[in-house]
C-alpha cells in the first residue's frame, strides 16, 4: 500500500469522535512509539449486492479487547461501541469497500518502560487496499522462502495477542524474503516446526487433508484461519491442526496463506522448490472461491459473519459566519 492509497481518506475515528485525517496525530513521547505498547486489528469491508458489509467485525473487535487485556490495557470502549465506530468511519468516508484498522495504544503520560501511567488512545482508520501480496497472487500463487528468523516462544511473548511490538519480528521475516526475491517468508517456531508467514497463517494440503499449525506453534489465532477451517469442514474436506515439520513444505500437494489482508493466497513455491505442480491446487481454489463468495455476500451467511452498513453522510464542519454587507 502506497501513500497515494490514503489520498481519499477524509475522516478518522479517535477516542469516540470523527476527526479530520490530517488531525490524526500523536505526541513524539507516545509510549507506543518508544516501547511498542499497542494492539490492533485488520478488518475488511466488502462491496455486496446489499451494500457495504464488514466481515466478522465483532470477532475482530473481541480479539482486540482480548489483546489489550493480556497487556493490562483497559480499552474504554465496549465491543459494541468499537463495532459501531468502525461502521461510522466507513460511512463518513463513503466507502463501499475498504480495509479497516482499529488501533489501541498507550499515549503520552510518562516516559519509561512501565506503561501503567500512560493514557489509552483509540483510533480507527479506513482506506482502500487491494491484494496484499500482489494483484496476481490469487490467480498464480506466490513464491516464498523459509525465514532464518523464528517466531518467539510462547513463554517469552503471547502470540495470541495482536500487538504492535510483535511485528518487529514480522518485519525481519518480511524484509529477508523481499530482499531475497520472494513475496513472503515462512517462519518456524522455537522447536523448528512450521509456524506462519510474517502476517498470515499457513495451510498445507496433503492427500486431500487440510493441515495447519496449532496455536502452540507460536501463531496468531487468525480469524480468516478460523473461517477456512469452518468452511473446509462444511465442504467435507478433512482438517487437522498439528505440528508440521519444515520438510512438508517441499512434499505437500498444495499450500496457501490466510489472513484478512492476504485473504486466501496460494503458495506456488518454497525456497524455489515448486509446491505440487507449481500453481494453485484444486482444494486451495475451492476454499478460495468459497471464502470470496462468503465475504462478498454471494452465498448464504449461516454464521452471521457479515455486518451490513449503509454509507452515512460525512461529519460536517461548522458553517462559516455569513459575510456582513455594509
Catalytic residue among 162, 174, 242, 279: 162
Contact 67, 163 (CB under 8 A): yes
Closest CA to 64 of 39, 35, 90: 39
Cβ(238)–Cβ(210) under 8 Å? yes
SS (H, E, C) 111-174: CCCCCCCCCEEEEEEEECCCCCCCCCHHHHCEEEEECCCCCCCCCCCCCCCCEHHHHHHHHHHH
Instruction: Look up residue 318 and give its three cell numbers.
Output: 461548522
d(CA 288, CA 269): 18
- Going by their DSSP bridges, the two strands 209-212 and 239-241 should be labelled as parallel
Report CA 323 to chain centroid distance, whole Å: 49
Residue 83 CB coordination number (10 Å)? 21
Give the SS3 label for residue 215. helix
User: 18-25 — which CB contacts under 8 Å span 24+ positions?
Assistant: 18/88, 18/89, 18/92, 18/315, 24/123, 24/125
Report which DSSP code applies to 117: T
Q: Looking at the chain, how many residues does it have?
A: 326
3 catalytically annotated: no
**Could you tell me where the DSSP H helices lie in the chain?**
31-35, 57-70, 79-92, 137-140, 167-179, 223-234, 248-251, 282-295
d(C-alpha 264, C-alpha 269), whole Å: 16
Whether 321 and 171 have beta carbons less than 8 Å apart is answered as: no
- CA dist 143 and 137 (Å) reads 9
Residues with active-site annotation: 162
Amino acid at each position: 500500500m502506497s501513500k497515494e492509497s490514503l489520498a481519499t481518506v477524509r475522516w478518522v475515528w479517535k477516542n469516540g469522535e470523527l476527526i479530520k485525517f490530517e488531525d490524526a496525530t500523536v505526541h513524539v513521547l507516545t509510549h507506543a512509539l518508544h516501547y511498542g505498547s499497542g494492539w490492533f486489528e485488520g478488518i475488511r469491508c466488502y462491496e455486496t449486492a446489499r451494500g457495504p458489509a464488514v466481515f466478522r467485525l465483532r470477532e475482530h473487535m473481541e480479539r482486540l479487547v482480548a489483546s489489550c487485556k493480556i497487556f493490562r490495557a483497559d480499552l474504554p470502549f465496549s465491543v459494541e461501541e468499537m463495532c459501531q465506530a468502525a461502521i461510522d468511519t466507513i460511512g463518513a468516508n463513503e466507502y463501499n469497500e475498504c480495509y479497516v484498522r482499529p488501533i489501541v495504544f498507550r499515549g503520552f503520560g510518562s516516559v519509561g518502560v512501565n506503561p501503567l501511567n500512560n493514557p489509552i488512545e483509540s483510533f480507527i482508520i479506513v482506506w482502500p487496499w487491494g491484494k496484499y501480496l500482489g494483484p496476481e497472487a490469487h490467480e498464480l500463487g506466490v513464491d516464498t522462502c523459509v525465514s532464518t528468523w523464528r517466531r518467539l516462544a510462547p513463554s517469552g511473548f503471547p502470540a495470541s495477542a495482536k500487538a504492535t511490538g510483535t511485528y518487529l519480528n514480522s518485519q525481519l521475516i518480511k524484509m529477508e524474503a523481499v530482499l531475497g526475491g520472494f513475496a513472503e517468508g515462512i517462519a518456524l517456531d522455537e522447536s523448528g516446526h512450521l509456524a506462519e508467514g510474517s502476517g498470515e497463517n499457513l495451510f498445507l494440503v496433503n492427500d486431500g487433508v487440510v493441515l495447519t499449525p496449532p496455536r502452540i506453534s507460536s501463531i496468531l489465532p487468525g480469524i480468516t484461519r478460523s473461517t477456512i477451517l469452518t468452511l473446509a469442514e462444511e465442504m467435507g474436506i478433512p482438517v487437522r491442526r498439528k505440528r508440521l515439520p519444515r520438510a512438508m513444505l517441499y512434499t505437500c500437494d498444495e499450500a496457501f496463506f490466510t489472513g484478512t489482508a492476504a485473504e486466501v493466497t496460494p503458495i506456488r513455491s518454497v525456497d524455489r522448490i515448486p509446491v505440487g505442480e507449481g500453481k494453485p491446487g484444486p482444494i486451495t481454489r475451492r476454499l478460495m472461491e468459497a471464502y470470496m463468495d462468503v465475504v462478498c455476500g454471494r452465498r448464504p451467511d449461516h454464521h452471521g459473519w457479515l455486518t451490513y452498513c449503509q454509507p452515512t453522510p460525512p461529519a460536517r464542519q461548522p458553517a462559516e459566519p455569513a459575510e456582513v454587507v455594509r
